Structure formats: C-alpha cells, structure tokens
Amino acid sequence: MMRRYIFLTIVFFSLFHVASAQKKKGRTPEKEINIPEGLTYQVIQYREDVKTPKRANQLGISYKDDGQKKKPVVVFIHGGGWANGDKDNVLYQVFNVAKQGFVGVTISYRLVSEGDFPVCIEDVKEAIRCLKSKEGELPLDLDRIGIWGYSAGAHLSLMIGLSPEDTFHSGTYTEYDCKVKTIMPVSTPTDFVIKPEREWFPKFLNEEQVADIAFQQSVSPTHYVHQGQPKIFMIHGTADKIVPSYHYLNFKKVCEEKGINNFTLYEIEEGGHMLYFKRRQDVMPLFKEFLKEVKSQNI
C-alpha cells in the first residue's frame, strides 16, 4: 500500500531538490528594480497577514501608461519547487510584455517555508481575484487574461485555470472569480497519483498527505480537466528528468478522452527541465503564439 501513496512526494522532492541546489534557499532576496523607460510599475499587497512575510503575497504590475483603458493581461508565476523564488524572478518577462502593450503581472505566493503546502494554490487563486478587483483602477481587460507558469509555477497556473472556484478558496474577494482565457504551462507537474515509485519523503509533506490519495488527486491538475476549460499551450521537453514525460502524456491522454479540443502540446526534442531558458530559439515562437491568443478578441 505504501508504494501507492508515494508518487506525490517524488515530484515534490525532485523539484524541491533542484530548488535547494540554488545559491539562495527560500525567497529570493529583494533587489532594486530598474523600471524601463515608458512603463509604470507598482506592487500590490493582495493579502495582509502578520504571520507571513509581506513579500510572500504580492502582485507586481507593469504597463504602458498611454491612456488605453483596457489592455490584455499576462500573468507570470515563478518556479522553484514550491520552495524557492519570488515574483521578481520573472519581472523581466513582465516588462517585456508590458512594452508590447499588455499589462504584465507577476505573483508571489507562500513558499513551503512560509506556509504548509498547498496554501500556495490558495494564494495564486486569491491573487487573480484581487487583480480582477482592480478593474477600473488599472487598464485591465478581464476577458483577455493569460497565465504563463514554469515548473511549480506551471502547476499553479493549471490549478488556477482548471480547479473549481470553491476549491482552495481563501474567502476573500468573493465577488470575483479566477477565470482566465488561456494558459501556457512549461515543464509542468500535472499528476501526483499515477506513477508510484520510491519510498522517501520531502520534509514539507506531512504523513496524512503522503497517505491520502484523495489529497494527491486534489492537487493534481489532470484531475480537473473538463469541457469548457481555458485554452492550454503546454510546453515540455522529452528529456526532462525532473518532471518526466508521463506528466504531459497522461494530461494529453485525459484531454483526448474527454474530448478537449483546445489543448495543444509542444514536445521539445531532447529538451530538459530548463528548456524554456536554454532553448529560446524553440520556445519563443510558441510564446508569441500564446501572446497572440491572449491578445485576440476571441472569447
């Protein structure tokens, strides 16, 4: 029985191990931000909690202040094994899309050192609702929101777009929803149940979570595939050793079984877990297609 319960921890441990191998563990140290000419940038606190560092629950938002009242929105969610990183890690991407006429947004969420897993899912869903509450104050087109996520951030992007509104809900911004138009998850953990293997555990999962298949399903994006879901452009490398191919292959299989016709999988031959950053010539044309979809008026 124990072997059936183990897979969730394998993926978490693998990504956690990769994250821990970086020079800095936990939240990336704060640095001075150089805002490109012609752009505005502001930080919004989407949750106030005296028990949590302020930087754990923030939105970073940038756009051209050119008088346009509604712009398409691209949200970026950083990776780091749910254990490392910060919204500022992907700020360069926020500025890049802002220069192109989008509202660029980056989300920070509680890392496992700041809150028990899976509060990060609750956080990112709350962040999207908070963002929507700023319509009118910011030039947001709520009908044109896309989310890009990498690794752990890709997992969170799918949980935003696929899980029901009433799941992982913080009870705030209740008049708003988490609906988005399209998602681009890169190197994505999608299913924590299907491939039980080794018997070792990361420190941030408790024994109940390890032994609870219902819990494992509840944090698996594949479990929430449904008709009417957002359009998905998934990128994954065939040589990814951290998040192996059965993640994207099983997700694709479930989409096919359920008759989902707005899912596109891009397999990058010999691409590893870091392919988005190391194989730019392969992924940037795909990212441009994602931006084109976000920007389009097709709802």
Of 60, 67, 104, 115, nearest to 86 by C-alpha is 60
pLDDT at position 200 over 60: no
CATH number (domain holding residue 53) = 3.40.50.1820
Q: Is 69 inside any structural domain? A: yes
Q: Is 281 inside any structural domain? A: yes
Q: Is 256 inside any structural domain? A: yes
Supply the pTM of this predicted model: 0.91
Q: Is 29 inside any structural domain? A: no
Q: Is 171 inside any structural domain? A: yes
Average pLDDT over residues 54-60: 96
Q: Are 90 and 28 in contact (CB under 8 A)?
A: no
Q: Mind listing the pLDDT tens digit for each residue in 73-92?
A: 999 999 999 999 999 999 99
Average pLDDT over residues 254-283: 96
Count of domains observed in the chain: 1
Burial class (CB in 10 A: 0-12, 13-18, 19+), 20: middle
Q: Which pLDDT score is estimated for 31? A: 87
Tokens 């923030």 found at:
58
Confidence class of residue 20 from pLDDT cuts 50, 70 and 90? very low
Q: Is 198 inside any structural domain? A: yes
Distance CA 41, CA 63 (A): 7
Q: Is 31 inside any structural domain? A: no
Domain residues for the domain of 103 are 2-24+36-295
Average pLDDT of the chain is: 89
Average pLDDT over residues 8-31: 58
Q: Is 245 inside any structural domain? A: yes
pLDDT at position 30 over 70: yes
Give me the long-range contacts of 195-199 (CB less than 8 A, separation at least 24): 195/7, 195/10, 195/244, 195/246, 196/3, 196/4, 196/5, 196/6, 196/7, 197/3, 197/6, 197/7, 197/10, 198/6, 198/10, 199/2, 199/3, 199/6
Name, in order, each residue with C-beta under 8 angstroms of 208's C-beta and a sequence gap of 6 or more. 215
